[in-house]
C-alpha cells in the first residue's frame, strides 16, 4: 500500500483527493483541520508556512493543494498581497518539497502541484494569482528536469472549481450561469474531476508523464465556440 502525502487535504480539491485515495493508500494529511476519520489516515495539524513540518519515514507521492484566489485590479493590489499569494502558492510548496526530497527520491515518487488556467489565458484581475501560479509552472518543469529518473513532477491547471475557495465566484445562480457560459463545455468544475486527474498523476499509470502542465478547463483555453 503506497503512502501519499497531501498538503491541504481538509477542503476542496485536497479533500476530494483524500477521498479518492483513502481506501487504497495510506494518507498523511497536513492541514489545520482533519478531513475525516479513517484507519488509513494520519493527520498533522499545522500551517506549512509557519510551523515545523513533521518528520516522516516514507512517502511515495506528494500533492500540494494550498492556494489562493485574490481577484483585484492591478491598481488595487498591494505589494503585500503579491507576497502573500507567492508565499502560499510557491514558497509553501518549496518548503514542503525540500523537507521531503530524500523520501521522494528513495521511492521514485510523484509530485503534483497546482497552477491555473489564468497562466495560459490572460484574464483581467488575475495579476497576483497568475504571477504565483506561473512560478509554480516554472518550478514544476525545472524540478522535473533536475530530478528526471528520480522524481516525477507535474502540475494541474484547473478552471473555476466549486470549492470553498471559489465560493464568492459562485454565490448565486446568475454568477454560476455566467461562468458556465464562458466555457465551451458550458460547465465549471467539481473538485472530484480535478481529484481524478491528480490521482492518475500520482499513480504508476502515469509513469511516463513528467514536467507537464495539464489544463482541466472545460475547453476555455484552447476552444473558441
- Domain spanning 3-216 has what CATH number? 3.40.50.720
Q: Which residue has the higher pLDDT, 163 or 144?
A: 144
- Say which residues have a Cβ less than 8 Å from residue 29's Cβ, sequence separation at least 6: 5, 6, 9, 10, 18, 35, 41, 42, 43, 44
Does 167 score more than 90 pLDDT? no
All three cell numbers of 40: 488509513
CA distances in angstroms from 225 to 44, 119, 121, listed in the order given = 46, 21, 16
Q: What percent of the chain has pLDDT over 90?
A: 87
d(CA 153, CA 143) in angstroms, rounded, equals: 7
Residues 21-30 have pLDDT tens digits of: 999 999 999 9
Q: Residue 62 in contact with residue 96, Cβ under 8 Å? A: yes
Region of 123 (left: φ > 0; alpha: ψ -120 to 50; beta: rest) is beta
Q: Which residue has the higher pLDDT, 225 or 5?
A: 5
Closest CA to 161 of 11, 10, 9: 11
Domain boundaries, the chain: 3-216
Q: What percent of the chain has pLDDT over 70?
A: 100
Does 170 score more than 90 pLDDT? no
Residues 61-77 have pLDDT tens digits of: 999 999 988 999 999 99
Task: Give the start-end residues of each E strand in 8-148.
Answer: 26-31, 41-45, 61-64, 110-114
Amino acid at each position: 500500500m503506497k503512502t501519499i502525502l497531501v498538503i491541504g487535504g481538509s477542503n476542496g480539491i485536497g479533500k476530494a483527493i483524500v477521498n479518492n485515495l483513502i481506501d487504497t493508500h495510506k494518507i498523511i494529511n497536513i492541514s489545520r483541520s482533519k478531513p475525516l476519520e479513517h484507519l488509513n489516515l494520519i493527520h498533522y495539524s499545522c500551517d506549512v508556512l509557519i510551523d515545523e513540518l513533521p518528520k516522516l519515514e516514507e512517502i511515495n507521492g506528494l500533492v500540494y493543494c494550498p492556494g489562493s484566489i485574490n481577484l483585484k485590479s492591478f491598481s488595487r493590489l498591494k505589494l503585500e498581497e503579491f507576497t502573500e499569494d507567492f508565499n502560499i502558492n510557491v514558497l509553501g510548496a518549496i518548503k514542503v518539497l525540500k523537507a521531503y526530497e530524500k523520501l521522494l527520491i528513495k521511492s521514485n515518487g510523484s509530485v503534483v502541484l497546482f497552477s491555473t488556467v489564468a497562466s495560459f489565458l490572460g484574464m483581467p484581475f488575475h495579476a497576483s494569482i497568475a504571477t504565483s501560479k506561473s512560478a509554480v509552472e516554472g518550478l514544476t518543469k525545472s524540478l522535473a528536469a533536475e530530478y528526471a529518473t528520480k522524481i516525477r513532477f507535474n502540475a494541474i491547471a484547473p478552471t473555476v472549481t466549486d470549492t470553498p475557495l471559489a465560493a464568492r465566484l459562485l454565490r448565486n445562480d446568475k454568477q454560476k450561469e455566467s461562468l458556465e457560459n464562458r466555457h465551451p463545455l458550458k460547465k465549471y468544475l467539481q473538485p472530484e474531476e480535478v481529484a481524478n486527474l491528480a490521482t492518475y498523476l500520482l499513480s504508476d499509470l502515469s509513469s511516463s508523464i513528467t514536467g507537464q502542465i495539464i489544463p482541466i478547463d472545460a475547453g476555455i483555453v484552447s476552444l473558441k465556440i
